[in-house]
Chains A and B, each alone.
Chain A
Amino acid sequence: DSGVTQTPKHLITATGQRVTLRCSPRSGDLSVYWYQQSLDQGLQFLIQYYNGEERAKGNILERFSAQQFPDLHSELNLSSLELGDSALYFCASSVAAGLSDTQYFGPGTRLTVL
């Protein structure tokens, strides 16, 4: 158990819909990262927040957005969903802000878009 929690564990929705994925970092960690893992695209870094502010951006689509709240939990919002958005979405957390700092991954949310 990494100490990072993600909800929900599974999510099934339809194309065109909007969903919100939630992540709670390990106690004491200020950085939260979001990743997408799919069969065809592999593991991709989406975005990082540090202490409430956006710190780094990866291959995140404009239809996707994220935020980190004052209690440090984070939400990833996915809108206008397409079939290709079906993937495993991981959240990770770390103490500091560097992308190369040790990141602890949550169990993931499996999103299925029908």
Chain B
Amino acid sequence: AQTVTQSQPEMSVQEAETVTLSCTYDTSESDYYLFWYKQPPSRQMILVIRQEAYKQQNATENRFSVNFQKAAKSFSLKISDSQLGDAAMYFCAPRGGGSNYKLTFGKGTLLTVNP
């Protein structure tokens, strides 16, 4: 079974600044996948970024990037040039490899963006 820890229940950032959200996880699998989802007040779950554990290169999607440390089982999300629309709850979610399609979600980090 996988466990996920998001140690920051809440974070705040000034508009245009950079913020990093932390996530650690525990898994016994060697091949797995990691996702960050955001949930704005509308409650829609939106994929932010994904990382394959077998890839050493950190994933990037425009202003969003990850710092993936496989040995430390750490998967942090960096948001650069923060925008008001980035305000949301952010969830870290690992998924097992092979035929294991279950996502395990952390408790989430509520990000506030201050103008």
Chain B associates with chain A: no
